[in-house]
Structure 1
Amino acid sequence: MYETILVPVDESELSKRVVEQALTIAERFDSTVHAMHVVDDRGASHLSKSVNELAQDADERREIDERREEAGNELTERVAAQADERGIPVEQVVLVGDPAEAITDYAAEEDVDLIVLGAKGRSAVGKFLLGDVAGKVARHARTQVLLVRSDEA
């Protein structure tokens, strides 16, 4: 039923619950898990800056992005270790971009059968004003999406 399961992860406590859900489902259906982390690049803004300031900002941003990608690799490696302990095949991927777009695009490209991700349970107003990765993925993915709610929800 679910040959391929995509589990986007971050550093949150909720992400640990999401991974457990994904691995439990993967065990049940003999699935391959794709552990993903997306380095969010949506916050870059360079208004009213000189060329020198932009160059310095670019160097600093590159260093920050490299550290964030390394952290993403560590997160996906933790998932891979947990999957290996349970005999679950796993692939690791770290992407840079808009998280919702990266998740839905990757799921379509890799023909993923199920996306398992966390939903923070913010109010409807908060989701409308701030946007919501889980909500965007649920609306735009071409596959099944399982939202794991936080304890706070």
Structure 2
Amino acid sequence: MGNSILVPINSIPPTIAALNHVLTLEGSHEITVLQVCPIIERDDSIRQTVIPEAIDEQREASGQTAEQVFSKATDYAAEHDVTLETVIDSGHPAERISAYAATNDITRIVIGTQEQSLLSRILRGSLPNAIMKRSSVPVTTIQTPTDESSRRHDGTGQERPLTFSRGIN
């Protein structure tokens, strides 16, 4: 196997779009789908002493989302005769995704994202941008439009996600 590709979960439709992109790449690839539960635990954290139930609820919700995406992604990959590895981690998403890529011989990260306004990106930030800043491997983002009017189509009427990347494709 020449390429090991990491597909981080970034909600269901963008993740499936990213997975679709990976499955259409030529050559053989090892594919890992990663869910990072955005919980940062510190022993001295007030969140740990005041609201541990909320942290458990967030971890459970993140795990349920991961299982939904893992199920859809595994079924989708099986249609293309490809098997996936699935991994759940917790911590700061951009840091954990970049660290996973660095420690597991990942050759590329492919992440799906939905369109955001410039103001939204400034105020809330962007997970793909944060990953690009931290990653030592190329990062490809697959942008899925949020409304019907902005969708790009190829000649067959099929939606074609916008693709942006940093590094070598």
Q: Same fold (TM over 0.5)?
A: yes
Sequence identity percentage: 22
CA contact (8 A) 1:76 1:93 kept: no
1:93 partnered with 2:91? no
Q: How far did 1:111 drift?
A: 1.1
What amino acid maps onto 1:126 in structure 2?
S
Which residue does the alignment assign to 2:122? 128
TM-score, normalised relative to structure 2: 0.72
Q: Indicate whether 1:110 and 2:118 are aligned.
A: no
2:156 maps to what in 1?
none
Q: What SS does structure 2 have at the residue aligned with 1:78?
A: helix
- The residue that corresponds to 1:24 in the other structure is 24
Matching of residues 33-52 of structure 1 within 5 Å: 33-41=31-39, 46=46
- Residue correspondence of structure 1 range 3-82 to structure 2 within 5 A: 3-25=3-25, 28-41=26-39, 46=46, 54=50, 57-82=51-76
Q: How many residues align?
A: 145
Structure 1 residue 105, shift from structure 2 partner: 0.7
Q: Distance in 2 between matches of 1:126 and 1:64?
A: 23
Q: Distance in 2 between matches of 1:116 and 1:141?
A: 12
Per the alignment, in what secondary structure is the counterpart of residue 31 of structure 2? strand
More helix by share: 1
The Cα RMSD (Å) is 2.8
Q: Unaligned regions of 5+ residues in structure 1, if any?
A: none
CA distance in 2, matches of 1:71, 1:128: 26
Q: Deviations over 1:45-96 (max 9, x none)?
A: 847xxx6xx2xx2134314412421331331232122222322231100111
Letter in 2 for 1:117: I
Q: 1:84 aligns to what? A: 78
Q: Distance in 2 between matches of 1:67 and 1:120?
A: 21
